[in-house]
Amino acid sequence: MSTTTKADILARIEAERERWHQLLAKIPQEHMEESGPGGDWTFKRLAAHLTGWREWTILRLEADPVEGATPPWPAELTDVDDINAWMDERDRDRPLADVLADADASYQRLASAVDGLTEEDVTTPGRFPWLEDDATLAEADLFAHLHEEHGQDHYAWVSG
């Protein structure tokens, strides 16, 4: 059983939000809609993409563990690339300010979803079937998508 508590997870979410703010502070807004380390993907598109996947995590945390959550994309989409394309199409023409506001708000929504859980929810293996290998929420890296797939390129890009 993990020794990580709900308070630890909430602190991690706040630390990630602060790290996100530090990244935003290094990228001039006029460059957020230009191609960067993600190739054709602008920083704005990356922010929308990450927020879309975070939304899915939030919905699953808020849902009944037996009934599960309904994804925000059309039910017929099951392939990750198709889901990513759907999210990108949905968000591509949204104003930058709206995308950034949603990204920022998603951290608070995630914290609220975690705060609504019990300590038992956080530490019980298999409580969230969508976590791999019956992991606990305490063991899960809620920001792996950013760190493992997207973040390092962007953090390196702004560090020069």
Total domains in the chain come to: 1
CA angle 75, 91, 60 (to 5 degrees): 45
Q: Residue 69: give the domain boundaries.
A: 6-29+38-144+154-159
Residue 46 lies in a domain: yes
The pTM of this model reads 0.87
pLDDT at residue 160 above 50?
no
In a domain, 1, yes or no: no
Which is more confident, 134 or 23? 23
39's enclosing H/E stretch is strand 39-42
In a domain, 92, yes or no: yes
With tokens 């190739």, the residue in question is 39
Position 88 scores a pLDDT of: 94
C-alpha count within 13 angstroms, C-beta hemisphere, residue 109: 18
Q: Which tens digits make up the pLDDT trace of 62-86? A: 998 777 899 999 999 999 999 999 9
